[in-house]
Amino acid sequence: MTVEADRLAAEYFDTGTLSGLPADHFIDGRWCPPVHGRTMETFDPGLGRAYHQFAAGDADDIAAAVDSAVRAGRDWARTRPAGRGNILARAAALLREEAPRLAVIESLDSGKPLAEAEGDVAGAARTFEYYAAAANTLQGDSFPLGHDYLGYSIIEPVGLTAHIIPWNYPLSTAARGIAPALAAGCTVIAKPAEQTPMTALLLAELLHRAGLPAGVCNVVTGTGGQAGAPLVRHPAVRHVSFTGSVQTGINVMQEAAANVTRVLLELGGKSPVVVLADADLDAAVEGILGAIFENAGQICSAGSRLVIDRRIHGEVVSRLVERAESLTIGHGLRRPQFGPLNSVEHLSRVAAHVEGARARGLSILTGGRPTMDPQTGKGWFFEPTIIDAAPADDPVVQQEIFGPVLVVQPFDTEEEALALANGTDYGLVAGVYTRDFSAAHRLARDIDAGQVFINEYFAGGIEVPFGGNKMSGFGREKGLAALDAYSRVKSVAARIGG
């Protein structure tokens, strides 16, 4: 893995690009140039430079993908679930075989450290393995109508599904939507983020090689406005899975409403990590660091608020500051501990949040400024940042920053901890660190979030349903629950006489 990845990284640093990158849409089982011939650039955030051109699609490319998916949909929905599962299992094996190249491309396109991208590819393979098996679990019920009747349900695929994918986890988010959709017998059109289009395209081509019939999974690239919006509002689309910002999620839901199309919205969060005084502080410090500095904080489920007992606040915060300052910063392909932000626009958004905090007189314990790769003097980096004792109504507590910015909120009682934990409009995930079994499960019960991690932030995997409450959205991805998004129940009730 390392040898092949390092060879590809060297190729990139020597040539300024990689050979064999996709440049077209993937529609109907083949590479399709954009109907209107327009292209756009994708960037390497670690050096702050464009490295490749790809198709800038629009409504006409979406129309071609819809035609292809609609043609393929009937046969795909009739394939035996075990047959669908076999294709997904072959895709998982190909993902593992091709992991080094996929990880290098993911790291280059998004900026994230290569080790994290390797984890994402392994996670995507796991996702396909999991839904390969889950394809066999889709079964209906029989209803107790009595001797003279027969009542039963059939689980049907919903049909053509659209997947709008963000730039922070391009391959993982594509996999976690596409795998259960295919398992359920749906067809797919995915629209990756314009900042990170590469790995979704490669995934579609890989699925085709794994035996997926042409047209069942299509990928159209381009901007949200030009390619995403026409996809979401296309009347042939029966379900939209969207991951991204609250405002775009609201727009997507409004567009989908015009056709009464189902939506699943995953809109990020402002997730608390609650640390009680009796917690294992070594585990808590590790957990908090990963929760906010992994992928430079560009994680919907980042633990961006540390809600901490005042008695241990000083010790934990000083350990966090020391560790934050020791993280190695660098280009993702040089295997740093901490990489750049995904785009220059996003870097200025994060910087503006922290400038606001500084102007309001908040205490910035470490970081707080844009920075660069010390080796090259380039790239879109922001320092690992910790802001102490922020008032509960401050914008840095209330708003998703989506960067490496931890906001600390001390408390005196468990009741206060709960109020702080629940004190934003978001409700995606939460972490709890304590050795007190009952306190841990009281908080898990009372925190308004879709998922609670106890004593290990990000515990679990594809098996655990994931999604938000409140402004974080609705619907659940991952786990068997994800199949609900792509399935519908048909009930049959018959009088059969006696």
Distance of CA 159 to the CA centre of its chain: 23
For the bound state, the minimum distance from the C-beta of residue 20 to ligand NAI, rounded and expressed in Å, comes to 24
- Residue 370: closest CA among 352, 356, 386, 358: 352
Cα–Cα distance measured from residue 447 to residue 269, given in angstroms and rounded to the nearest whole number: 14
DSSP per-residue string spanning 199-267: HHHHHHHHHHHTTPPTTSEEE--S-IIIIIHHHHT-TTEEEEEEES-HHHHHHHHHHHHTTT-EEEEE-
Counting contacts by CB under 6 A, is residue 166 touching ligand NAI?
Answer: yes
> Out of ligand NAI, Mg ion, none, which partner does residue 42 contact, by CB within 5 to 8 A per kind?
Mg ion
Q: Is the CB of 255 or the CB of 383 nearer to ligand NAI?
A: 255
Verify whether residue 32 is a known catalytic residue: no
3-state class (DSSP) for residue 133: helix
Among 9, 12, 34, 42, binds Mg ion (CB under 5 A): 42
Counting contacts by CB under 6 A, is residue 402 touching ligand NAI?
Answer: yes
Identity of the amino acid at 484: D
| Number of residues in the chain | 498
- Contact set for ligand NAI, span 342-401 (CB under 6 A): 346, 349, 400
Counting contacts by CB under 5 A, is residue 109 touching Mg ion?
Answer: yes
What CA dihedral angle connects 228, 233, 235 and 237, to 10 degrees? Answer: 40
Counting contacts by CB under 6 A, is residue 404 touching ligand NAI?
Answer: no
- Contact set for ligand NAI, span 225-254 (CB under 6 A): 225, 228-229, 232, 243-245, 248, 251-252
Cα–Cα distance measured from residue 50 to residue 238, given in angstroms and rounded to the nearest whole number: 36
Map residues 85-124 to x or -, x wherever contact with ligand NAI holds by CB under 6 A.
----------------------------------------
Distances from the Cα of 457 to the Cα of 49, 444, 453, angstroms: 34, 13, 5
> Out of Mg ion, ligand NAI, none, which partner does residue 397 contact, by CB within 5 to 8 A per kind?
none
DSSP code for 328: P
Closest CB to ligand NAI belongs to which residue? 224
Verify whether residue 266 is a known catalytic residue: yes
Cα–Cα distance measured from residue 414 to residue 397, given in angstroms and rounded to the nearest whole number: 19
Residues in contact with Mg ion, total (CB under 5 A)? 4
User: Among 294, 300, 383, 400, which one carries the catalytic annotation?
Assistant: 300
For the bound state, the minimum distance from the C-beta of residue 228 to ligand NAI, rounded and expressed in Å, comes to 2
Q: Which residues are catalytic?
A: 266, 300
| Contacting residues toward Mg ion, per CB under 5 A | 42-43, 109, 195
| Contacting residues toward ligand NAI, per CB under 6 A | 164-168, 191, 193-194, 223-225, 228-229, 232, 243-245, 248, 251-252, 266-268, 300, 346, 349, 400, 402
